[in-house]
Structure 1
Amino acid sequence: MFERFNLSEETLKALRKKGYRKPTPVQEKAVPLLLEGRDLVGQAQTGTGKTAAFGLPAVELVDPSRGEVQVLVLVPTRELAIQVAKEVGELGRERGVKVLALYGGKPVAGQVELLRRLRPQVVVGTPGRIRDLLERGVLDLSKVRFFVLDEADRMLDMGFIDDIEFIHSKTPPRKQTALFSATLPEEIRPVIKRFLRPDHGEVRIEPEKPTAEKVSQTVYRVREEELFDTFLRKLEETPFRKAIVFTQTKVEADELARRLRRAGFRAEAIHGDHSQTRRERVLRDFRRGRIDLLVATDVAARGLDISGVDAVFNYKLPLDAESYVHRIGRTGRAGREGVALSFSSDREDDRLQRVRKVAGDAFRFVNLSDRPVESGGRRPSSGGRFKKTFGGRKGKGTFGRRRSFGNPSGGG
């Protein structure tokens, strides 16, 4: 129960109003450390309750009687800024905490006026807009006591590191810092070392294993030179209205989207190098059915709220098992069945083994390569967890390059 965190009665009342009864695992681990004043690195996926994990300490920390920014939360996108500000605002409402979201795409003058009139204790913003307001001299961060980087890996992927460094330099040297990220790539380690104290706490929430009952999973192991042709053939054999194709890099996402359009598919790429306006347009077209295939990197797809995804295609298996779980979790939601088809080059069997550990018997393995499977120096037996199948099963419907799903039964 939240009572054991020794939160104020006002915050407990806010939690009851939101219907929160029991802390999530990330809240259970992170909130006590943050309330103690510790710096924190939290590794947790979207949907784990991480906003409240830093939001609860934030609203407890501030003094509502002082009209100055005491908490700064940086997020990668305007959608997330709005979402996080709403959540933190609801948590702090009973204490009289004022929260303001600041992001691009809105007139600066209006946000400057809001800053002056509202005098918020908590600001949630995107790095570009926060830097802009600092350079204009209208935002004062000299009283910040708690600095939060939310979805840090995504902000780095989108090229915000210079903005973050600039913003950080405008905050007091003595403050509490929390960094939350779904993944902890090597690129993020210097940021942790630079921004957080050496004795910072760490919280890691393991992603749930994929639900085999909801997502039909198949992995095709193919020769490297036959990867695209095999992928294209399976794409044509699989019925879907909306599907996401995952790639490893931004360059690969752009190139694959171009090749798919040449093959007759309505495909668009989305990643951190694209402008916010373009990303929003692509997502809007995808939701409305103007695009059938969204080609995305792991980081770009994180946090996107997209319903009705019928299938997920991993053009190549990801580097780590956590990303595999996150990717296929995009389909098979809200009680619907989903399909996840993955393609693994026969030169990258190490990835295959990592996914095997997390997926277990949940997926069907189809070996289309004549090269032996590398499995820690030995080839898995036919009776192992990987069932070796040659040929592969075709989907029930073939839509080819005519991207129309028709009117499936039970559809809406």
Structure 2
Amino acid sequence: MTFNEFNFKEKLQASIAEAGFKEPSPIQRDAIPVVLEGKDIVGQAHTGTGKTAAFGLPLLNMMEANGSVEAVVIVPTRELAMQVSDELFRFGKNLKINTATVYGGQSYSRQLKHIENAGIIIATPGRFLDLLKGEKINIKPSFVVLDEADEMLDMGFLDDIKEIFTYLPEQRQTLLFSATMPTAIKNLAKSILKEPEFITITQSEVTNSKITQSFYVVDEHERDDALIRLYDFKNPEKSIIFCRTKKEVDRLSTFLVSQGFSAKGLHGDMEQRQREEAIKAFKKSKLEILIATDVAARGLDVNDVTHVFNYHLPFDSESYVHRIGRTGRAGKEGMAVSIVTPHEFRMLQKIQKDTGGKLEAKVIPTINSVKEKKTDSLKNKIIEQKVYDSGIELVESLKEAYDLSTIAHKLASILTNDTYVKGGNYIGKSENDIQRLFDRLQNDRGGDRNSRGRGRGGYNRGGRNRSDRNDRGGRSRNRNSSDRNSSERRGRRA
């Protein structure tokens, strides 16, 4: 199926083509026709499944662009408000439909000025309710969307949302989207929607099949070393690292900058201006790494994120899906990498069970593995490099003092400085260690669950060949004391 089959307006179809959208995602495929029929819907789908386009495209197609506010989208966070606004503006620009974002931390006058020229308001509940109660705006939208309803519930916005709907016209089309459907969300849907159609994305569609998921097992003090080694090996173009706490975001961003990475943190305690600057720099690829908490990155929509790293596993499966949904967007492939300790194995198995995803166990590469990969990359770069006059002139001037062989060796030595790899040779657990940890977990659960451990309940093998695994398995358990001490010192410095 293609977007052409929805028979959108020609100008909207042009915007879709410009955005590079070709095939609709499952939620788009199922929701768009129902919205176009004018029905209320309850859509159960996670972030990263294309919800914004699922409600945005049909609404834009039905709007009259008459100079008034025709649609309101209510979201839990200011970051998500900005992301949704950007996407809807991108789709609506050919239709001359503007968007206005409304959230706390900015002046009322500035936001009210934007609303005057907007066809769509994207707002967080608190500030939007303030504008309605203070009679600063008087709008009669035909369309109202609640996005990430369960997240708004968790943040304590339920009463605000109920009150907001007392100010909105009875005659409207209402769309509610939520990753989960707790009782409170179902009750809310009953009170604000009229004969809604329910659309649910099945569990097999929860995680994007284009995202490769893997995990590496380490001891707690090895997390920083493991992260640096994985960056050296994978060399991601643009990545997000997720942490559980704001304090961890600050510490890790400082550490990565000290290691020469272009990185910034993103969390709720930062000033709004700082947060906006970080997101803008990341979108424009002036930053290679964004380190964020779950709430701060909720709804972050950047299509060219190649990798997502879980510095710690999140506390629940929902957050895991939200996290890895930051990569593999717009039909592109992505990689989700988790650094875990043996204590997190139960959470790891719960995530696999809840999401239906396949997380492959891998072993952190040795220094030689990283050097070999970097050297191969360097060789390819040299082979593909065009010869310019400036290069010829440099070599000719050097030939006055050195022979060609010496010049080549000196230039190669400069280039191979980039193949230097930090840290100890061996980091984390071997493949045999990981299997034993899973076997122990299955034995703890007892009975026939143990017999299933190496199948569905066990782990997917990945990493080195058999001889490497045997060598790695022995060494990891028999490091000498100096190796252990140096690793501990690195952990303390970090």
- Structure-2-length-normalised TM-score: 0.59
Question: How big is the shift at 1:177?
Answer: 1.3
3-state SS, counterpart of residue 135 of structure 2: coil
Report the counterpart of residue 275 of structure 2 in structure 1. Answer: 279
Counterpart residue type for residue 319 of structure 1: D
CA distance in 1, matches of 2:240, 2:40: 36
Report the counterpart of residue 173 of structure 1 in structure 2. Answer: 170
Report the counterpart of residue 360 of structure 2 in structure 1. Answer: 362
Question: How big is the shift at 1:297?
Answer: 1.9
Give the 3 Å change call, closer, same or farther, for CA 244–176 of structure 1 in structure 2.
same
- The root-mean-square deviation of aligned C-alpha atoms, in Å, is 4.8
* Structure 1: 5+ residue stretches without partners: 405-412
Question: How big is the shift at 1:31?
Answer: 1.6
Contact 2:264 2:287 in 1 (8 A): no
Give the 3 Å change call, closer, same or farther, for CA 146–238 of structure 1 in structure 2.
same
Is 1:246 paired with 2:242?
yes
Report the counterpart of residue 123 of structure 1 in structure 2. Answer: 121
3-state SS, counterpart of residue 300 of structure 2: coil
Structure 1 or 2, whichever has the larger Rg, is: 2
Contact 1:68 1:121 in 2 (8 A): yes
Give the 3 Å change call, closer, same or farther, for CA 149–273 of structure 1 in structure 2.
farther
CA distance in 1, matches of 2:308, 2:269: 25
3-state SS, counterpart of residue 440 of structure 2: coil
CA distance in 2, matches of 1:4, 1:196: 28
CA distance in 1, matches of 2:332, 2:143: 39
Question: How big is the shift at 1:39?
Answer: 1.9
Contact 1:319 1:351 in 2 (8 A): no
CA distance in 1, matches of 2:316, 2:182: 11
CA distance in 1, matches of 2:4, 2:131: 38
Report the counterpart of residue 89 of structure 1 in structure 2. Answer: 92
Structure 1 residues 136-189: Cα deviation after superposition (integer angstroms, max 9, x where no partner) = 423123x32321022334444555445433322211234321122445567645
CA distance in 1, matches of 2:154, 2:272: 14
Report the counterpart of residue 410 of structure 1 in structure 2. Answer: none
Counterpart residue type for residue 100 of structure 1: T
3-state SS, counterpart of residue 239 of structure 1: helix
CA distance in 1, matches of 2:346, 2:187: 30
Structure 1 residues 8-65: Cα deviation after superposition (integer angstroms, max 9, x where no partner) = xxx1442145326654432221022222332212233455443332123323444445
Give the 3 Å change call, closer, same or farther, for CA 193–207 of structure 1 in structure 2.
same
CA distance in 1, matches of 2:345, 2:291: 24
Contact 1:270 1:295 in 2 (8 A): yes
Range 193-202 or range 282-291, more displaced: 282-291
Contact 2:216 2:361 in 1 (8 A): yes
Is 1:73 paired with 2:73?
yes
Give the 3 Å change call, closer, same or farther, for CA 342–126 of structure 1 in structure 2.
same
Contact 1:313 1:341 in 2 (8 A): yes
Counterpart residue type for residue 165 of structure 2: H
3-state SS, counterpart of residue 358 of structure 2: helix
Structure 1 residues 110-131: Cα deviation after superposition (integer angstroms, max 9, x where no partner) = 4434544x4x543333434433
Contact 1:69 1:140 in 2 (8 A): no
Greater share of residues in strand: 1
Greater share of residues in helix: 2
Contact 2:210 2:334 in 1 (8 A): no
Report the counterpart of residue 221 of structure 2 in structure 1. Answer: 229
Question: How big is the shift at 1:204?
Answer: 1.9
1:12-27 equivalences under 5 Å are 12-16=10-14, 18-19=16-17, 22-27=23-28
3-state SS, counterpart of residue 442 of structure 2: coil
Counterpart residue type for residue 99 of structure 2: L
Counterpart residue type for residue 43 of structure 1: Q
2:161 pairs, out of 136, 161, 164, with 164
Question: How big is the shift at 1:102?
Answer: 3.1
Counterpart residue type for residue 275 of structure 2: R
Give the 3 Å change call, closer, same or farther, for CA 403–305 of structure 1 in structure 2.
farther
Give the 3 Å change call, closer, same or farther, for CA 193–277 of structure 1 in structure 2.
farther
CA distance in 1, matches of 2:361, 2:183: 30
Report the counterpart of residue 112 of structure 2 in structure 1. Answer: 112
Give the 3 Å change call, closer, same or farther, for CA 231–281 of structure 1 in structure 2.
same
Give the 3 Å change call, closer, same or farther, for CA 174–210 of structure 1 in structure 2.
same
Report the counterpart of residue 137 of structure 2 in structure 1. Answer: 139
3-state SS, counterpart of residue 171 of structure 1: coil
CA distance in 2, matches of 1:355, 1:22: 27
Contact 1:236 1:401 in 2 (8 A): no
CA distance in 2, matches of 1:352, 1:115: 47
Report the counterpart of residue 31 of structure 2 in structure 1. Answer: 30
Range 377-386 or range 78-87, more displaced: 377-386
Structure 1 residues 310-341: Cα deviation after superposition (integer angstroms, max 9, x where no partner) = 56134136532x65455345568898985713
Report the counterpart of residue 103 of structure 1 in structure 2. Answer: 102
Give the 3 Å change call, closer, same or farther, for CA 367–259 of structure 1 in structure 2.
farther
CA distance in 1, matches of 2:240, 2:294: 10
3-state SS, counterpart of residue 372 of structure 1: helix
Give the 3 Å change call, closer, same or farther, for CA 52–312 of structure 1 in structure 2.
closer
Report the counterpart of residue 340 of structure 1 in structure 2. Answer: 337
Contact 1:44 1:204 in 2 (8 A): yes
2:459 pairs, out of 372, 386, 389, with 386
Contact 1:30 1:203 in 2 (8 A): no
- Structure-1-length-normalised TM-score: 0.69
CA distance in 2, matches of 1:285, 1:87: 19
Contact 2:12 2:92 in 1 (8 A): no
Contact 1:27 1:49 in 2 (8 A): yes
Report the counterpart of residue 206 of structure 2 in structure 1. Answer: 207
Give the 3 Å change call, closer, same or farther, for CA 46–232 of structure 1 in structure 2.
same
Contact 2:82 2:101 in 1 (8 A): no
Counterpart residue type for residue 99 of structure 1: N
CA distance in 1, matches of 2:126, 2:109: 15
Contact 1:30 1:53 in 2 (8 A): yes
Is 1:374 paired with 2:372?
no
